[in-house]
Chain A
Amino acid sequence: MSESDIGLWSVPLAMLGGAIRVSTPFIFVSLGECLTERSGRINLGLEGVLVFGAMAGYGVAYETGSAWIGVGAAAMAGGAFGALHGWLCSLPKVNDIAIGIALMLLGMGLAFFFGKPYIQPVAPDLPAISFGWWSDAPQVVAALKVNVLFLAGFALALAMAWMFRATRIGLAVRVVGDSDDAARALGLKVNQTRFAATVAGGALAGVGGAYLSLYYPGSWNEGISSGQGLMAVALVIFARWNPIACFWAALLFGGAGALGPALQSVGVTQGYYLFYAAPYVLTLGLLIATSSTTRQLTGAPGALSITR
């Protein structure tokens, strides 16, 4: 590859780099949502958790000077939101979808409320590992700078797939998600299991938020998330509740999200806003293409309200 003149190749290259950068929050939120949904509950509020995690992570990283403490704080905040959702939904007759919408509004509200003082200051960034040392082209180097959290997300996807397949905990989550009655017959505690899965899912979404504010785009502001949390929920359906498929789907969505900036970097400015809508259109298209009224979705947890 010549180092100076890569011309139009810079678009797919920027999209690859962008896909890796943009997809990380998708990976974490979708894995969290995957875990929650496998236990038979849907948390639509992860968008709010993501935004609050971004604020909490940024604020704590700024106050303590350590990005990793920020990530931990974001996970804890996300877990707290998950606990709220899990507790409210364990009450009889409470609708988990509606609670999710309320949590989305509350999470954003609280994040904007407490986040005001952190819009200006600069917090430390998360470290990245450069895999582009073999190339001279700056675009290649930039595209292959991979954040540690991306790698952690990949490892987590593998670990979660193994957990569902081969461990006692994974089996318990799957049984609870498929049938309340079967779970009770096995002596599993349905509400406790769902609660734990929702808390863990919220914590993962919080980490996704911390990535947004601490690495890319790397600052806290009120427009930091534009529906990533919600797209991740749709992404889990598309990935058929399979953690490994969630990872690949997140990369695909990240690539779609990177289309706008990539085209802009080579000077395409026409229809700028339409390219930014690409991830939403992709999500909607996939949702339409993969949903069906006549057959149960393959791999769908039986107790999940969304598949009815």
Chain B
Amino acid sequence: MTAALCVGLAAFSLFLATIGKSPVEFYGLVYKAGFGTSFSWANTLSRTAPLLLAALCVALPARLGLIVIGGEGAIVLGGVAAGAVAMAAPGLPGGVGIALMAAAAALIGGAWIGAIGLLRYKRGVNETIASLLMAYIALALMNHLVEGPLRDPASLNKPSTAPLPEGFRIGDLPGLDVHWGLAVGVLGCVIAWALMERTRWGFAARIIGGNLRAAQVQGLPVGRLLFCWTALGGAFAGLAGMMEVAAVHGSANASLAAGYGYTGILVAFLARQNMLAIIPVAILLAGFEAANGLTQRRMDLPDATVLVLQGFVFIAILASETFYGRFKMFQPDRWSRS
């Protein structure tokens, strides 16, 4: 996968050179702003946290053969659910409040994405289109809720839910400038990996992904498995939204739709849907996003530069599928042991 990544980055360098910008300067700035200092590492790792969980929302269904690309919807609704819990019961002790927020976010995210798995099984609805449509619906729901029923009258310019009580906020990891979301994300990846690779439910899921007919012939509960695994992915994405609210924004508002759900698609594909490989890939892409501000200021590039970069890498990754098994350098790497 590294080779394909390099091809994508090389293609982007060519693109930069064509429009008269120096690729060397660009990657130098990315290194500086993404990985150069402890401050830039903190920035990168804070952005990694939601990416890890968003990528799980793509990778888990993908192992069952479903391409779900609407994780953004679950993130947004998870965040709103967390904000709503904090508004409904602000007097609770902090720990209970955080647990409740996490449970609500995971529940709504799981139901939202799980519904897509269920629709696929029951009605044969194309999950890719349905999930993206539901992301748009989720966005509309969020706008309706934070500008209507859940709006804090004190939030004038940017409609938001009420600010979280102090005890409901999630702090930084001990000794680091990174919030607890990173630990949750890494733990999520490890748990997802263990479930997928080391349990019989994961085995059943991989059978469904490999050959649906075979799974049905074996008498596996295909519908239940599809629902549970997509719902698990959605629950992770919902948690990502809750983390953003509790650790970064402090209340639910339109900032939740920051595109982590879409970058998560790329992370999952780059990691070849392997739960552990998601971790390094997410850190790398978060580094590129963290550097976006600096490249804008120093090189006078528009903020969409990182989107173009991601597009180039994405296409290189997918096109490299065609070379698998044909050249030594494109052999599946050490992460894909399954």
Contact = CB atoms under 8 A, between A and B. Distances in A.
Interface of A: 44, 84, 88, 91-95, 97-99, 101-103, 105-113, 116, 226-227, 230-231, 233-234, 237, 271-274, 276-277, 280-281, 283-284, 287-288, 291-293, 306
Given A99-B315, A280-B136, 17 more contacts: A93-B321, A94-B319, A103-B315, A105-B266, A106-B307, A108-B307, A109-B310, A111-B304, A116-B304, A227-B136, A230-B129, A231-B133, A273-B141, A287-B126, A288-B130, A291-B125, A293-B123
B19 to A, nearest CB: 9
A101 B133 contact: no
Interface in B117-149: 119, 121-126, 128-130, 132-134, 136-137, 140-141, 143-144, 147-148
Interface of B: 67, 69, 119, 121-126, 128-130, 132-134, 136-137, 140-141, 143-144, 147-148, 262, 265-266, 269, 302-312, 314-315, 317-319, 321-322, 324
Given A94-B321, A97-B67, A106 B128 contact: no
Given A105-B307, A106-B311, A116-B302, A277 B140 contact: yes
A99 B128 CA distance: 13
Contacts of A306: 126
A111 B302 CA distance: 11
Best-buried of A116, A280, A306 by chain B (most CB within 10 Å):
A280
Contacts of A111: 304
| Chain A contact residues: helix, strand, loop or mixed | helix
Contacts, number: 138
Given A102-B311, A230-B129, A230-B133, A291 B123 contact: yes
8 contacts: A93-B321, A95-B318, A95-B321, A109-B307, A230-B133, A276-B140, A288-B125, A291-B125
A280 B141 CA distance: 12
B315 A106 contact: yes
B114 to A, nearest CB: 15
A118 to B, nearest CB: 12
